[in-house]
Amino acid sequence: MSRGLGDVYKSFFFQAEGGIRGAQESRGLGDVYKGQVISFHSENPQSRIIKQVIDVLERGGVIAYPTDSGYALGCTLGDKKAMDQIVNIRKLSKHHHFTLMLKDLSHVGEYAKLNNAGFRLLKKILPGAYTFILEGSKDIPNRLLNGKSKTIGIRVSNNPIVQAILENLTEPMMSVSLIIKGYEFYNCNDVKVALNGSTDLIIDAGHCPPEPTTVIDLTGDGVVILREGAGSIDFLN
């Protein structure tokens, strides 16, 4: 049986302890997953359900998932079609900073240029509710970089579900915050109403703090706070 996007044929059933809600049989990623909600234990995400999320991502899907600072949209790093889907949902310009969601800092040098002082700062306060703006490395596809400054956002979240997803991916996840004018997102029901089936999967882990990340620019000589959010800036004192 083929595992390709066009030939997928699966049946998913709701399971009391978590899993994709609803029962349906269909062909194609969009028909199987579109608009589905998958439930997780917020502190101890079930490995078999994580595999379902990885399956969606690896087939080119877009997910809405909770972080330590609000919901985000995510897809695999090299999938242009999925990235275009996210751009369309958020109505983003070419100057928007896309973010790479990393499991940890062990491979940050592969994706961004960072001096010793910058790395020490990241190591000091991550994981946490911060997005760092850094100069992208030459290995980053141009479509992910800010069109003018060639910069990229870097995040390491302490959310257990995010960590479990990244543990099972072979690369970072391309991500943007879920921000839609007129909506606030406290749980998956809020997300489902706003997205109206425009993502392939929504992860439900209960209440999600809606405050966005603190955004920090390290591309210059010093530390510049572009947006104060959930991450404390007490480290500047």
pLDDT of 27 > 60? The answer is: no
pLDDT of 19 > 90? The answer is: no
| pTM of the predicted protein model | 0.83
Please tell me the predicted confidence (pLDDT) of residue 129.
95
Q: Is 174 helix (H, G, I), strand (E, B) or coil?
A: strand
Instruction: Assign 33 a pLDDT band (cuts: 50, 70, 90).
Output: low
More confident of the two residues 160 and 221:
160
Instruction: Assign 38 a pLDDT band (cuts: 50, 70, 90).
Output: very high
**Pseudo-torsion of CA 215, 175, 92, 115, nearest 10°?**
40
Q: To the nearest whole number, what is the mean pLDDT of the chain?
A: 84
Lowest mean pLDDT among 21-30, 162-171, 184-193, 223-232: 21-30
Above pLDDT 70, what percent of the chain?
A: 84
Instruction: Assign 25 a pLDDT band (cuts: 50, 70, 90).
Output: very low
Name the percent of the chain in helix, strand, coil, to the closest 5: 30, 25, 45
- pLDDT tens track for 58-105: 999 999 999 999 999 999 998 999 999 999 999 987 677 789 999 999
The CATH topology of domain 5-236 is DHBP synthase (3.90.870)
Asked if 60 and 85 touch (Cβ cutoff 8 Å), the reply is no
Please tell me the predicted confidence (pLDDT) of residue 50.
94
Lowest mean pLDDT among 22-26, 124-128, 145-149: 22-26
